[in-house]
Chain A
Amino acid sequence: MEWKKFKDTVFALAKKKGFDEAEIYYSSGSEFQLSSLRGEIDSYNDATSIGVYFRGLKSGKIGAAFAEELTDETASMLVDEAFENYSIASGNDVYFLHDGSGEYPLFEGFSGAFSAQPVEEKIERVIALERSALEYDKRIIMAPTCRLGDSRSEVFIVNTLGLDRHYSSDGGVAVVVALAGEGNSKKTGFTFTIAREPGDIDVSALGKEASKRAIDQLGAGRVKSGKYRVLFRNDMFGQLFATFTSMYSAENVQKGLSIIADKEGTKIASELLTVYDDPLLPISPNSRPFDDEGVPTVKKTLVEKGLLKTFLYDLKTAAKAGTKSTGNAIKSSYRSKPSISMINTVVKPGEKSFNTLVGELDEGIVVTELTGLHSGANPISGEFSLGASGFYVKNGSIVNPVEQFTISSSILKVYNSIVAVGSDAMPSIFRVSSPSVMVSEIDVASE
């Protein structure tokens, strides 16, 4: 069934069922992915998909349902399921739908450049990516992961209050993991980039950097347990930072699940820390002109020189707090409920190069890999204990690679003990763009 007719059918059924208002989120998209192994295409993925998510509102309560086809049968299934879901909703929370008001930013997230790139060229590029990693050094054994991908999506949100919006976006990604070996030591190095156009991906530099990272870790030793000054490489600080961004969610604040709940307007970090959420960041494939409730997005400062400026709101939490939605209601997939999150987190860079920071570290540890972010970090308590590897630094110079240690602290301690911020901003896979950041003291455990 055609989308417009489907929408009208669903809205008519929703009204008949007894919902006050109704909303449909519809997304369609495609994904393309190639990976290379030993100079040949190892896997090739080509996909198209659609998803539809229905929400019915009645007396401030919501019922939702989803499906992956647009048929008459689906239309009635969506409304019936949503109504049963609505019937068990409880609590004092009052939900709203957006009426489409507000200033919608100009959005140019779709270039079509990846779709236009011939497949033969994509194949050449992914093989070149692997080659650049393999040829970097004879100690590179292989590249266990070497992948280029691109995707395109179109999102529509329409409701019975008059909201009717859509946008398209596209972008690409490249990932390479290089495995190096010498003697008994085996190490992997990882690099990643996101891009709006194929030309933005420098496959040669990316492959070499992954291999360099693996080689540099070979023969890693141990550090003694103790307290160290730590320099997080840009991507690692981005990952650590991203793990704890749920504390900015007004939902968590209102439910007592945020450690900064009562800190609005107060100092929560070193004055070297400034953080934005920039939903229109040109480089990010996650950028969008409105959130998944249809509210226009806007760039905002969360932390300014250490002061907590605002939390992130959706329609429900904003109404409860007597403020306006910040346009941060985001679905993790078409079929999930929108929940509050950052869109593109930007940690404001400073002036110092990475090498200058290593010099200033004097004695300490550079962290270049973190593991266990999904298991060893507690976003509610802010505590973390993570596996790490990196380099031991003495007298301002890297002495040797170190492995198999853990770093433990709490995120607010990290915020407050930031002593330097680099100029080397780098977008990480966690939708955070961050420079390298130095922290005065962290517990390190090893032998």
Chain B
Amino acid sequence: MLSDEAYSKIINRILSGGADFAEVFVEERYTNNISMIQGEIEDSSSGKLLGAGLRAFKGNRSIYAYTNDVSFEGLMDVAGRLKAVVGQEIDRDLALDFRAGEHKDICPILLMPNSVSKKDKAAVMRLAHEGASGFSGRISQVVVNYFDYSQNVWIYNSEGVKASDSRVRTRLMVSAVASVNGDKEVGFYGPGAAQGFELFNRIDPRAAGERAARIADRMIRAEYAPAGKMPVIISNEFGGVIFHEACGHALEATSVAKGASVFAGKLGEKVAGECVSAVDDPTIPNAWGSANVDDEGTPTRRNLLIEKGILKSYMIDRLGGLKMKMEPTGSSRRQNYTFAPTSRMSNTFILPGDHYPEEIIAATDYGLYARSMGGGSVMPATGEFNFAVNEGYLIEKGRITKPVRGATLIGKGNEVLMKIDMVGNDLARGQGMCGSISGSIPADVGQPTLRVSELIVGGRS
């Protein structure tokens, strides 16, 4: 890394073009990826990413450039390009007095990934493979992927911010295919955390494999889901993807600041049933989406998004804050230095309510129980979302009666929030990769078991 003085010069060079704000983000990342198919290691690769992203604001305009050349000369050259875009020439050589913020490390690491041999990583994968392939005779194919990375970032800006953070992530992903008479169904489970190899002191790889296999094994024997409008009970943990897609994205400044969100201008208004409270919390120790500071160097904090149905806060980055005339919320994230940061979710979940999950099922005469959710997507401007049910069951007369497959849930985020009428007490979080304009980033989704009074279920019958 360069000296504070060097970064000061780089930032001053950008400002001398008339920019209102300038920022340097330097990243170095070591990554390991291992892929095992049918118990054999098919691909193992590792390496180091190194680069820097420089950013300037002029009014509400953002100018971004990145490079792999992180030398002083390299960065000064890029700073010169940014300066030329802003296009003015002002005298500016005030040395910046950087102040590093104090923070305690919320994600302490016990076993750094690069201190663990690849053979040990492969051994964990083999356990997951065995858990899945041994689950039943119907499991025909098991793919286990493992990855870890150690990312170090340094952030300097023209307001004197100097921050650094180290983010370590480890994840195991199991896909199991069940086959019967040429018909195939896939089950998936992918636990991860902001932890090193100690993740596997907590997560049993064999159990992770079994869980993926269970989904495939159940679904291959399931009938197609019924179609039409009906009550849907969404199980805890990864079920929180409904909130993530249906609501979370539309609460990001990225869409709110443009006015391109169904929740724009709705602070203080009722947007959900009274049983719904939700947070985005990047400060949970060692959680998948946690960090000490965000990618603009702002310390992270817990943001209460919805309290008893009332919209309380958005997730705001620096540029979004400028446009919305609001303070940043420590929510600015990016996949890596090749992306300009923007407001993103971290660990986003609905808070627990009063009901036992069994109670919610018993109170439902007919509907779909979505036990494991797949991914989904949303158009924030209209709130329209869709997501896949990976493991579904039919509820008849207050009981889970049979597995059903192939269901998709569609709806509009603002409408579905109002239709949540029962919230369970079994909050849990699940891990996902969230894609948006600043790339693909680790994010936890979460919720207790909850019921949506009616949703359109896409199925076959």
The CA of A132 and the CA of B338, in the complex, are separated in Å by: 30
The CA of A443 and the CA of B118, in the complex, are separated in Å by: 47
- The distance from the CB of A87 to the nearest CB of chain B, in whole angstroms, is 7
The CA of A88 and the CA of B116, in the complex, are separated in Å by: 13
CB of A84 within 8 A of CB of B410, answer no
CB of A91 within 8 A of CB of B40, answer yes
CB of A387 within 8 A of CB of B386, answer yes
State how many residues of chain A have any CB contact under 8 Å with chain B. 73
Instruction: From A49, A74, A86, A119, name the one whose CB has the most chain B CB atoms within 10 angstroms.
Output: A49
Contact for A44 among B48, B64, B259, B381, CB less than 8 A: B64
Using A372-B376, A445-B228 as known contacts, say yes or no to A186 and B338 having CB atoms under 8 A apart: no
CB of A88 within 8 A of CB of B50, answer no
CB of B41 within 8 A of CB of A48, answer no
Contact for A386 among B41, B47, B408, B460, CB less than 8 A: B408
Question: Interface with B: A11-19, A251-259, A300-308, which one?
Answer: A251-259
Contact for B42 among A91, A141, A335, A385, CB less than 8 A: A91
Using A42-B62, A374-B377, A406-B410 as known contacts, say yes or no to A255 and B38 having CB atoms under 8 A apart: yes
Using A48-B67, A447-B228 as known contacts, say yes or no to A91 and B41 having CB atoms under 8 A apart: yes
- The distance from the CB of B110 to the nearest CB of chain A, in whole angstroms, is 22
Chain B 355-377 residues near chain A, CB threshold 8 A: 374-377
Chain B 361-401 residues near chain A, CB threshold 8 A: 374-377, 379-382, 384-388
Contact for A65 among B45, B85, B117, CB less than 8 A: B45
Is B189 at the interface (CB under 8 A from chain A)? no
Is B122 at the interface (CB under 8 A from chain A)? yes
B residues in contact with A47, CB < 8 Å: 64-67, 338
CB of B408 within 8 A of CB of A179, answer no
A residues in contact with B374, CB < 8 Å: 375-376
CB of A88 within 8 A of CB of B381, answer no
Is A446 at the interface (CB under 8 A from chain B)? yes
CB of B66 within 8 A of CB of A142, answer no
Is A96 at the interface (CB under 8 A from chain B)? no
Using A46-B81, A144-B258, A386-B408 as known contacts, say yes or no to A381 and B375 having CB atoms under 8 A apart: no
Is A37 at the interface (CB under 8 A from chain B)? yes
Contact for A385 among B61, B81, B408, CB less than 8 A: B408
Main secondary structure of the interface of B (DSSP, over half): strand
Question: Interface with A: B160-168, B177-185, B310-318, which one?
Answer: B177-185
Using A375-B386, A405-B458 as known contacts, say yes or no to A144 and B408 having CB atoms under 8 A apart: no
Chain A 344-383 residues near chain B, CB threshold 8 A: 371-372, 374-376, 378, 380-381, 383
- The distance from the CB of A69 to the nearest CB of chain B, in whole angstroms, is 6
Chain B 209-249 residues near chain A, CB threshold 8 A: 224, 227-229
Q: How many A-B residue pairs have CB under 8 A?
A: 232
Is A67 at the interface (CB under 8 A from chain B)? yes
Instruction: From A37, A45, A50, A92, name the one whose CB has the most chain B CB atoms within 10 angstroms.
Output: A45
Using A376-B408, A447-B228 as known contacts, say yes or no to A335 and B47 having CB atoms under 8 A apart: yes
The CA of A65 and the CA of B377, in the complex, are separated in Å by: 33
CB of A375 within 8 A of CB of B387, answer yes
CB of B377 within 8 A of CB of A371, answer yes
Is B457 at the interface (CB under 8 A from chain A)? yes
A residues in contact with B119, CB < 8 Å: 87-88
By size class, the interface of chain B is 35 or more
The CA of A407 and the CA of B258, in the complex, are separated in Å by: 32
Chain B 405-447 residues near chain A, CB threshold 8 A: 406-408, 410-412
- The distance from the CB of B377 to the nearest CB of chain A, in whole angstroms, is 6
CB of A144 within 8 A of CB of B260, answer yes
A residues in contact with B340, CB < 8 Å: 43, 45
B residues in contact with A78, CB < 8 Å: 47
- The distance from the CB of A335 to the nearest CB of chain B, in whole angstroms, is 6
CB of A375 within 8 A of CB of B61, answer no
Contacts A69-B68, A91-B38, A255-B38 known; 17 new A-B pairs at CB < 8 A: A42-B60, A42-B61, A43-B64, A44-B85, A47-B64, A66-B48, A69-B50, A89-B42, A91-B41, A93-B42, A177-B381, A371-B377, A376-B388, A380-B177, A386-B386, A406-B459, A408-B460
Q: Ordered nearest first, which 3 A-B pairs have the shortest CB separation?
A: A406-B458, A91-B40, A445-B227
Q: List 25 A-B contacts (CB under 8 A).
A: A40-B61, A42-B61, A46-B81, A67-B50, A68-B51, A68-B68, A74-B48, A77-B47, A78-B47, A84-B118, A87-B118, A88-B44, A91-B41, A144-B380, A144-B381, A225-B228, A372-B387, A385-B406, A387-B384, A387-B385, A403-B384, A443-B460, A445-B456, A445-B459, A446-B456
